[in-house]
Structures are given as structure tokens and as C-alpha cells.
Amino acid sequence: MRVLGVDPGLTRCGVGVVEGVAGRPLTMRGVGVVRTPADAELGPRLVAIERGIEQWLDEHRPEFVAVERVFSQHNVRTVMGTAQASAVAMLCAARRGIPVALHTPSEVKAAVTGSGRADKAQVGAMVTRLLRLDAPPKPADAADALALAICHIWRAPAKNRLQQAVQQQAALQASKGRSA
Amino acid sequence: MRVLGVDPGLTRCGVGVVEGVAGRPLTMRGVGVVRTPADAELGPRLVAIERGIEQWLDEHRPEFVAVERVFSQHNVRTVMGTAQASAVAMLCAARRGIPVALHTPSEVKAAVTGSGRADKAQVGAMVTRLLRLDAPPKPADAADALALAICHIWRAPAKNRLQQAVQQQAALQASKGRSA
């Protein structure tokens, strides 16, 4: 199973690709950050994020995309940008019929460290160990994207298969709609 | 000046096209709602909104897109969906180099009724009068989209010209980036 994890953000959107199955050693296929300038207009920033995500999808052909679920109890301004960046990532995946899964930050932390309240350093350390890397990926957004992908591989494989079937059906109907 | 107004939402995304200039009678070119089923997955819903917005852009070729600015002090669940739908609308416009303007609900109400705290019925009544329609557009999301377009035509024409120049430059650089 190849999963693209996306830690959404307008200024830094973390992306990481992990391959493997639950119960076996995992392999990192790529990690990076899609950046957009904070002083640019919102529209062109969303276009730049779309282009970045499309490149990652083209290059790595993931079977699943795992995106961090956005909550609005945090900083209002940041949360809006995060929701908008996550919408672009979900749109890019869904257009290709790739199933999108959302995982909360605490689900991701619990999956890779055993605690839903682990800090960034702990998540970075476990990602480094689980993927047998030489050092924690920087910035933290990149490490978080890998943690999301690992979380997705480890959580409910049966649920993934069901969701994949449902979304492929939806994509099929969408493409029928387009050609009609 | 032809403006597409977008009142963003996942379940009902209001769209309306108004043509005219400040100080002259305005003309409605089209009004409608892009709907997505509330029980569908988020990814395919965003794809359906993208397809709907693209059709409106193809058909009406607006010079500006005016989108309601989303705030997060309202219902948390609704606001996330609204932010995501607005991101798709902004993305569609910016990809074509069409300048996107954001107006707050109170700016829109003040523009068409004279009061930033006007209710839906009052906004609907003024949209009907200003566009010389036989009846208020239904649902309210459609009327709000027309009000957004009217608000944009009436607010700061000089600001629009500046923004258009900036965004066309950004689109030019974006297309250079793609072909590089």
C-alpha cells in the first residue's frame, strides 16, 4: 500500500509518501514541503498548492491520500488557511479517484508514539525510527506528513478497502457526468 | 464589468452573474445553485463543486469573481465546509487568472441595503429591485451570490483595476512555472 500523507497549510504544506503494510517494516518513498509566499494573494497560493500536490501524485502514484483533519478550535486565521489547503489536496486526490482519508492529530500521534498527546519531537523521533531514517525529517510539517501516511497504513485496512470501492464508484459516476 | 458572485457552501453553493458599472442600472446574466449531496464523501463533493464553478466560468466568462469571506466564529462544522467550498471557487478563478475579491457578509448587506445588519428578506428584496427581477431569487444562497456580485461592482473600481493587474502578473508567472 502506497500512501501520500498531507499536513495541510498555506505557507508550508507537508507531503510524505510511505509504502508498506501493517505489521511489516515501512519504507519512505519521498518527503517534502509545498511552500507558498505568505504575501501572495490567496487565489494564486491555492493554485501553487494544487500544482505541488499534482506533482507528488504524478511522481508517486499513491493508492491513498491521508490528510490531517482540520479543527477550528485553534487560531482562527490559521485554521481557515489550513481548511483551504486541505480542500485543494482532497480535490486533487478525488479528481483522480484516489480515496481520501482524514485522521485527527491525536489519532496520528497515538498511532506512531502510543500517546495522542505526544509532542513534535516525539513524533519526529518515531517517524525516524519506523522509517529507518538517519535523522528526523525537517521541517516538522514534513515529519507530520509521514506520520499521517504511517497512521493510515496501520489503521483499519478493511475500512480502506471499503472506502476505496465507494470512491472508485463515485469517480466513475463523476467521469460519466463529465462526458455526458 | 461582469462579475460572478459565489456564496460558498458544500450543500448549496450560490452563484450569480451581474453585469454593469457603478452608477448605472445593473443586469443579471444568470443565477443558480451548485448542489452536492450531504451524504457523499468530502473529496467527490469538492470535485462536484469544481465542475459546477467551471461550468459557470465557461458560460459567463466573468472578469472578476467575488466570494464571501468566511469567518470561523459561527458553527464550527459549517464553517469548515464553507472554507473548503470557497477554496475550490477561488482556485478555479485563479487558475484562469481571474482576480478574486473577498467581501464580508456585512459589507455585502451594507452595499445593497444600506445596513450591515440587514436580514435575508431585505437583501432579497433589494437584489430583486436593483436587478429589476419579477421575484426574489430562491434559495437565499442564490440571492446572496447576486448581492456579492453587486457589492463588488459598487466597491472601489480603482482597487479592482490594481488587483486585476497584480493577479494577471501572478497568473503569468504561474504559467511560466508550469511550462518550465
pLDDT tens for each residue of A98-133 = 999 999 999 999 999 999 999 999 999 999 999 999
Convert the pLDDT of each residue in B139-175 to its tens digit. 999 999 999 999 999 985 645 566 666 667 777 776 6
pLDDT band (50, 70, 90) for residue B84: very high
pLDDT band of residue A179 (cuts 50, 70, 90) is very low
Q: What's the confidence (pLDDT) of residue B13?
A: 97
Q: Kindly list the residues from chain A whose CB atom is less than 8 angstroms away from the CB atom of residue B90.
A: 42-43, 46, 84
Q: What pLDDT score does A171 carry? A: 72
> In B116-149, which positions are buried (b, 16+ CB within 10 angstroms) versus exposed (e)?
eebeeeebbbbbbebbeeeebbeebbbbbbbbbb
Q: Render the burial of A151-169: b for 16+ CB within 10 Å, e for the rest.
A: bbbbbeeeebeebbeebee
Instruction: Over range A142-150, report the average pLDDT.
Output: 98
Residue by residue, DSSP assigns A15-72 as EEEEE--TTS--EEEEEEEEE--TTS-HHHHHHHHHHHHHHHHHHH--SEEEEEPP-S
Q: How far apart are CA A37 and CA A106, in angstroms?
A: 29
Q: How far apart are CA B57 and CA B50, in angstroms?
A: 10
Cell reading at A27 = 519504507
The pLDDT-based confidence of A163 (bands split at 50, 70, 90) is: low
Residues of B in contact with A95 (CB under 8 A): 47, 50
Q: Do A73 and B71 touch (CB under 8 A)?
A: no
On whether B141 is known to bind a ligand per the annotation, the reply is yes
DSSP state of A74: S
Residue A23 has pLDDT above 90, yes or no: no
**pLDDT confidence of residue B78:** 75
pLDDT single digits (tens) B9-65? 999 999 999 999 998 999 999 999 999 999 999 999 999 999 999 999 999 999 999
Band the pLDDT of B80: cuts 50, 70, 90.
Answer: confident
Mean pLDDT of B93-118: 95
CATH architecture type of domain B2-179: 2-Layer Sandwich (3.30)
Nearest C-alpha neighbor of B65 from the set B157, B124, B2: B2
Q: How far is A161 from chain B (nearest CA, A)?
A: 15
* A179 → chain B, closest CA residue: B51
User: What are the structural domain ranges in chain A?
Assistant: 2-179
| Burial (CB count within 10 angstroms: exposed 0-12, middle 13-18, buried 19+), residue B104 | middle
ipTM for the complex shown: 0.82
pLDDT of A42 > 80? The answer is: yes
| Cβ neighbours around A22 below 10 Å, total | 12
